[in-house]
């Protein structure tokens, strides 16, 4: 149940420390549904407005004055610009600095809440004694919990534990 090798492949897919290779993949993973819908609606509205304006211009002024090529060029430029804007907006990552804890990994490794707290303090460079003081428990307890963490993470030293926890997105 606690075999790391069996889990890593699945778990790492859950972490968000690895960014997608294509912008579309990145967008699909990070943009919320509401954000997507808003963007699409905005783009549709802009298209409609543009089309309306073009219709109006067509029947009232432009076609009687300029050759059709200029008309075509204007449409092309306008919609290309709209497309670029929409593309940039779609590709924008909403919150680059957020960190989502890989709860799937935590659950799968059987790491308890208390052990999570200990892990965070451990990763921030605290000693067992400091962690014990901060959590209001005995240093011996912290030792036990740290040892349990080592077992579950399959490491021998605290620097290795920090390294592995960061890889698995257990801590920021």
Which residues are near its own copies by CB under 8 A? 18-19, 21-24, 26, 47, 50-51, 54, 58, 68, 72-73, 75-77, 79-93, 96-97, 122-127, 155, 157-164
Between 101 and 150, name the residue whose CB sits nearer to its own copies: 150
Coil, helix or strand at residue 61 = coil
Coil, helix or strand at residue 66 = coil
Rounded to the nearest whole angstrom, what is the least distance from the CB of residue 29 to its own copies in the complex? 12
CB 11 within 8 A of CB 105: yes
147 binds DNA (CB under 7 A): yes
Q: What are phi and psi of 157, to 5 degrees?
A: -125, 165
Which contacts of 35-42 are long-range, i.e. CB under 8 A and separated by 24 or more positions? Answer: 35/94, 36/90, 39/86, 39/89, 39/90
4 binds DNA (CB under 7 A): no
Rounded to the nearest whole angstrom, what is the least distance from the CB of residue 159 to its own copies in the complex? 4
Coil, helix or strand at residue 76 = helix
Rounded to the nearest whole angstrom, what is the least distance from the CB of residue 11 to DNA in the complex? 17
Between 11 and 162, name the residue whose CB sits nearer to its own copies: 162
- Residue 90 interacts with, from DNA, its own copies, none (CB under 5-8 Å by kind): its own copies
Name the residue with tokens 């929409």.
Answer: 86
- Residue 50 interacts with, from its own copies, DNA, none (CB under 5-8 Å by kind): its own copies
123 binds DNA (CB under 7 A): no
144 binds DNA (CB under 7 A): yes
d(CA 115, CA 78): 57
Residues 6 or more apart whose CB falls under 8 angstroms from that of 131 comprise 118, 121, 122, 142
CB 142 within 8 A of CB 118: yes
- Residue 137 interacts with, from its own copies, DNA, none (CB under 5-8 Å by kind): DNA
Residues that bind DNA (CB under 7 A): 110, 112-115, 127-129, 135, 137-141, 143-147, 150, 156-158
């Amino acid at each position: 149940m606690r075999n790391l090798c069996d889990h890593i492949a699945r778990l790492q897919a859950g972490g968000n420390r690895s960014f997608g290779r294509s912008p579309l993949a990145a967008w699909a993973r990070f943009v919320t549904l509401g954000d997507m819908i808003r963007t699409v609606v905005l783009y549709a509205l802009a298209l409609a407005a543009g089309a309306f304006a073009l219709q109006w211009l067509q029947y009232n002024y432009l076609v009687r004055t300029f050759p059709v090529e200029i008309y075509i060029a204007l449409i092309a430029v306008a919609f290309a610009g709209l497309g670029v804007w929409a593309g940039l907006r779609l590709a924008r990552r909403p919150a680059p600095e957020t960190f989502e804890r890989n709860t799937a990994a935590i659950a799968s490794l059987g790491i308890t809440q208390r052990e999570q707290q200990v892990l965070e303090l451990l990763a921030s460079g605290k000693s067992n004694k400091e962690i014990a003081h901060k959590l209001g428990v005995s240093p011996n307890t912290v030792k036990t919990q740290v040892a349990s963490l080592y077992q579950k993470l399959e490491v021998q030293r605290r620097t290795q534990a920090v390294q592995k926890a960061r890889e698995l997105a257990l801590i920021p």
